[in-house]
Amino acid sequence: MRVKIAFLFFCLVAAAHAQSSIHTQAGTRIWNIHAGKMSYVIGVDEENVLQSLYWGPTIEDSYQWPTPHSQPERASFDLPINTTPLEYAGWGAGLFTEPALKVTSASGDRSMVLHFESADIEDKRLHIVLRDVHSIRVHLYYEPYPEGILGRSSRIENSGATPVQVEQASSATWSLPSGRKYEVSWLTGQWGAEWQLHREAMQPGVRVLESRRGSTSHQANPWFAIGQIDETTEHSGPVWFGELAWSGSWRMTIEETSLHLLRVTGGYNPFDFTYTLLPGKTLETPVFYGGYTADGQGEASRILHRFQLGKILPHHPSPAPRPIVYNSWEATEFGVNEKGQTALADKAAKLGVERFVVDDGWFGERNSDKAGLGDWTVNPKKFPHGLKPLIDHVHSLGMSFGLWVEPEMVNPDSNLYRQHPEWVMQFPGRQGTLARNQLVLNLARDDVKEFTFRWLDKLLRENDIAFLKWDYNRNWSEPGWEDEATESGLEHDGQKAIYVRYVQNLYEILARLKANHPELEIESCSGGGGRTDLGILRYTDEVWPSDNTDALDRLRIQEGFTHAYAPQTMAAWVTDVPNFLDRRSIPLQFRFFSAMQGALGIGGDLNRWSDEDLDSAKQLIAFYKTIRPIVANGNLYRLESPSDDDTKPVEYVTSGQTEAVVFAYLHAQHYGMTYGNVRLYGLSPTAMYRIEQFGTGMNRTAASVPGQILMTQGLPISLRGEFDSTAFRIVRVP
Ligand code: DGJ
């Protein structure tokens, strides 16, 4: 009998769904949600409690799920509430695992026991309502996407007559199948060293990933991927993964309970958090997206990439590949002026650059990071005739124009601060803590929100600006405000609602700017990659992953980045050597091939580039333009280096398997070995492919090779010495 059940299960799993749908099992309170090749099943048990039943490969709707039962207690110390995979648990009634929700009611009752109330499917979204006796309703939303992603969020509603304090509010808890040995991957970092990938076997206990900093942070990114030990590799095996769409303080708790149940709970960071819910009010949580694949870590990333392009980015479902940007920050820092920028624009245009961006220093008394932030009028000494002459000149060269802004910050030495000292985040009677000589404006206040929107909107109306580099160069230190008499309603939600209101207002400003200026493109930058998440990416077209532009460090940074985010969103510049951070000198071609992994830009001082370098750069940019659509929209494969080198080759393949591009890098040759064969992925085994190798001063086409050979024997690559690099364009022969 056991064998039969196992066989039936296999058949049901094997038939994969390519679309998304929600199926209510007839006569039951069980829902089978399909997203691409993934199914997610929940059901209400005989105690009227919502349980997680399944998260994995597709299960056909023909399978009749039995009514779920709560699990038996484990002695008197672990009641069924701890042994049963609850879908969304309130803290109370003896729950000792991570709760999704913790609320204190006006009476002082601090427990929350949620029972099923109703369910309906509205506009391709499953909406489930749970309810506690104290008239707290929790609305759970499930929105499946054909890319293989399920979006989950919650809305906490106070339907009682007295206010309650929400102390912990998660978007979702994800439960993984029990009885397996898991390893978890996550990303951490710091300024200049973001996107460091970690992988570790799960043991009973909790791994907390979080930011308490008010924004997404360099410290950790709201992404996780969980594979199975000894089964999951880059190219095969099961992976359960997720990403939280929130640009404020967040937390993910990856917990293997002492009873070996693995759950991931994520949402608002409960640290220093309380949200007062008045009667009739609600609190919405961010969307926590999750996915599953049977095809390894690489495919988990590709699912996320396709989903971001198809459903998240402002110009989804087909955002155009990013233009090639020139930015002089590393060359001039604050010393921008009309003459210097015009000269650089002339040089950039000759290379084939498509967008010219003026960075920090164009406004107010902004000659260093000590003053001027907040005074968003053009500095008349640097740009005596305003920005228009430069913008017109940039346009006459065939490039679009972009501008740096940092709207959420203020220097105390600024007119804005002198006029509105009450607009910064602060605690009454306490001196604000400076970072980079700046304070954070309290965007949670509606007056600050309106001011910020208005000056940005005016700037965009008065100037032909195609792109804003939106920077954010510090974290929070005193997350409060002096006077509660604002019109924002914060006095009702409580001071700590700042963690929610600030980010909501930031999103509102971005949405209104996008509505008024539909062609506007924005980069999310936070001293590098400190604000990269699916929340901000709904409004921003790209991110700046790191201020570290050393081409070698960048390979590791970019590899980590692609685990969670699409190459198209990854801005990458070629800058000068020796690099400002590591003092390393890397040849120009290597720097270009490193930056070509994402949205290529140039960030060096072109006045110092030799004619030879300028000529090489021109060739490399022309090559990039031929492969850019493959990088931007193709499927990314992180390949294995055949040598012991610390760099990894990468491959991008178009969805029709007609074209691919491969980049390979050598940090240092050892023992006279010349690299070796790199095994490719994602090609059609039966098709023939022409191999075109590209390098500066070199353009070689080899005989055609079957895809099968490239994917088994591999592509032979010879790299020598130090910092050697190469690129291949691989074209299917008709
Ligand atoms: C930090 C950014 O990451 C840099 O690229 C540059 O824009 C500076 N801020 C400007 O202050």
**What separation in angstroms does the CA of 623 have from each of 349, 618, 716?**
16, 9, 21
Average pLDDT over residues 521-541: 98
User: How many A from CA of 289 to the centre of ligand 1?
Assistant: 30
Q: What is the pLDDT of residues 682-717, one digit of tens each?
A: 999 999 999 999 986 677 877 899 999 999 999 999
pLDDT at 681: 98
Q: Which residue has the tokens 């990114």?
A: 221
Backbone angles phi, psi at 611, to 5 degrees: -60, -40
Q: What percent of the chain has pLDDT over 70?
A: 96
**How does residue 2 score in pLDDT terms, banded at 50, 70 and 90?**
very low
What does the alpha-carbon distance between residue 76 and residue 80 come to, in Å, rounded to a whole number? 10
**How does residue 674 score in pLDDT terms, banded at 50, 70 and 90?**
confident
Give the residue among 225, 222, 219, 241 at the shortest CA–CA distance from 148.
241
Residue 406 Cβ inside 6 Å of ligand 1? The answer reads no
**How does residue 17 score in pLDDT terms, banded at 50, 70 and 90?**
very low
Give the residue among 510, 556, 545 at the shortest CA–CA distance from 648.
556
Three-state DSSP at 248 gives coil
- What contacts 639, CB < 8 A, 6 or more positions away? 648, 649, 650, 651, 662, 678, 679, 680, 681
Q: What is the pLDDT of residues 610-668, one digit of tens each?
A: 999 999 999 999 999 999 999 999 999 999 999 888 899 999 999 999 999 999 999 99
Q: Which residue has the tokens 């909790």?
A: 206
**How does residue 10 score in pLDDT terms, banded at 50, 70 and 90?**
very low
pLDDT at 491: 57
Count the Cβ atoms, other than its own, within 10 Å of residue 191: 16
Nearest ligand 1 atom to alpha carbon 525: 3
Q: What percent of the chain has pLDDT over 90?
A: 92
Task: Mark whether 471 is an active-site residue.
Answer: yes
8 Å CB contact between 267 and 223: no
Q: What is the pLDDT of residues 438-491, one digit of tens each?
A: 999 999 999 999 999 999 999 999 999 999 999 999 999 999 986 654 544 555
The lowest-confidence range among 165-169, 324-328, 405-409, 641-645 is 641-645
Average pLDDT over residues 599-609: 98
**How does residue 11 score in pLDDT terms, banded at 50, 70 and 90?**
very low
Q: What is the pLDDT of residues 234-290, one digit of tens each?
A: 999 999 999 999 999 999 999 999 999 999 999 999 999 999 999 999 999 999 999
Give kind and range of the element (H or E) at residue 510: helix 498-516
DSSP 170: E
Q: Higher pLDDT residue, 486 or 427?
A: 427
Of 78, 359, 375, 471, the active-site residue reads: 471
**What separation in angstroms does the CA of 718 have from each of 158, 363, 408, 689, 724?**
66, 50, 49, 19, 9
What does the alpha-carbon distance between residue 691 and residue 700 come to, in Å, rounded to a whole number? 8
Residue 201 has pLDDT above 80, yes or no: yes
Backbone angles phi, psi at 271, to 5 degrees: -65, 125
Nearest ligand 1 atom to alpha carbon 469: 7
- What contacts 72, CB < 8 A, 6 or more positions away? 80, 83
| Residue to probe by mutation, ligand 1, list 366, 525, 602, most atoms within 8 Å of CB | 525
List the beta bridge partners of residue 363: 378
pLDDT at 490: 53
Residue 574 has pLDDT above 90, yes or no: yes
pLDDT at 7: 33
pLDDT at 12: 37
Q: What is the pLDDT of residues 49-93, one digit of tens each?
A: 999 999 999 999 999 999 999 999 999 999 999 999 999 999 999
Q: How far is CA 25 from the centre of its chain?
A: 35
User: How many A from CA of 158 to the centre of ligand 1?
Assistant: 43
User: Where does 212-348 show beta strands of DSSP type E?
Assistant: 223-228, 239-244, 250-256, 262-268, 275-277, 282-284, 288-293, 325-327
Q: Is the dihedral of CA 493, 497, 503, 509 positive or negative?
A: positive
Q: What is the pLDDT of residues 203-222, one digit of tens each?
A: 999 999 999 999 999 999 99
User: How many A from CA of 565 to the centre of ligand 1?
Assistant: 21
User: How many A from CA of 406 to the centre of ligand 1?
Assistant: 9
Backbone angles phi, psi at 710, to 5 degrees: -65, -30
**What separation in angstroms does the CA of 99 have from each of 49, 192, 240, 538?**
15, 35, 20, 28
**Token pair of 496 as six digits:** 């700590």
**Token pair of 315 as six digits:** 């110009």
pLDDT at 492: 64
Residue 360 Cβ inside 6 Å of ligand 1? The answer reads yes
Task: Mark whether 369 is an active-site residue.
Answer: no
Residue 523 Cβ inside 6 Å of ligand 1? The answer reads no
C-alpha radius of gyration, the chain, whole number = 27
User: How many A from CA of 471 to the centre of ligand 1?
Assistant: 7
**How does residue 16 score in pLDDT terms, banded at 50, 70 and 90?**
very low
